[in-house]
Amino acid sequence: MTRLEDEAFADVPVFPLPNVVLFPEAVLPLHIFEPRYRAMLSDCLDHDGAIVIAQLDRDGARIAEVAAIGVVIEHQPLPDGRSNIVVAGSARVRLDEIRAEEPPRHPYKRARATRLHEVDVTVNDAEYAALLTAATMFVTEVKKHDAGFELRMPKSLRGSEASRAQAGVLADICAFQLVVDAGARQAILEELDPRARVRMVTDQLAMQHGAMLSETKGSVLN
């Protein structure tokens, strides 16, 4: 995980996006083209690279209070001033104070954020196995329609290093890459109990898998 010092949370740029929910350990590619967000990126790169990715509601009127703070780990400037970047999620945060745009210095929103900590509980073997099974079954079904699809895991979850102790991280990665509904992803992000998060993701993936099977069956019958 990309670590941030506490100072980064006091005054951090906010990038509100519809239907986008960043999670700790997740890696999010973005294309920056609006002038105000070009300014935001420039400020990020001049400091610690910290940025909050927060979900914007469908009406564009409300920024979610719980979001994820990340760090710009890749930056590809383009000739016309646009940029491609990659943001690595670092931590869940609550946005305690969202400051309005202040052109020309800060033509984008900024916030004071508080780091949120998980509840210290253990996910049992059965729940961990259920999540792994649900994710595997859903990915297998998706690959029938898109052979190149895969679930990208951070190093901490690969091979023998993976364990129940990282079940919350596994739930986050599955939510980020596999859960379709943005509202469900936001609810999973806001859940600080890893046991509940594991159950939420497991249920979502089982529901999505069932929906895909029903659609496939229906298309065959028709």
Q: Do residues 211 and 129 both lie within one domain?
A: yes
pLDDT in tens, the chain (222 residues): 556 777 778 899 999 999 999 999 999 999 999 999 999 999 999 988 999 999 998 777 799 999 999 999 999 999 999 999 999 999 999 999 898 888 888 899 999 999 999 999 989 989 999 999 999 999 999 999 999 999 988 776 655 445 677 899 999 999 999 999 999 999 999 999 999 999 999 999 999 999 998 876 655 334
pLDDT of residue 201: 98
Structural domain span for residue 182:
125-221
The answer to whether residue 1 sits within a structural domain is no
Do 135 and 35 belong to one domain?
Answer: no
Is the same domain home to 11 and 108? yes
- Per-residue pLDDT at 149: 94
Kindly state whether residue 120 falls inside one of the protein's structural domains.
no
**What is the rounded (10 degree) CA torsion for 38, 39, 43, 49?**
-20
Q: CATH code at 28? A: 2.30.130.40
Residues 23 and 92 in one domain: yes
- End-to-end Cα, the chain, rounded Å: 48
Q: Are residues 81 and 139 in the same domain?
A: no
Domain termination site, one of 74, 90, 115 = 115
Report which secondary-structure segment, H or E, holds 220: helix 194-221
Q: How far apart are CA 124 and CA 108, in angstroms?
A: 43
Residues 12 and 111 in one domain: yes
Task: Say if pTM beats, i.e. exceeds, 0.85.
Answer: yes
What gap in Å lies between CA 113 and CA 6, rounded to an integer?
10
Domain-located, residue 15: yes
**Domains of the chain: total:** 2
pLDDT of res. 222: 41
Could you tell me if residue 177 is inside a domain? yes
Amino acid symbol at 207: M
What pLDDT does 159 receive? Answer: 54
Asked whether residue 22 is assigned to any structural domain, the reply reads yes
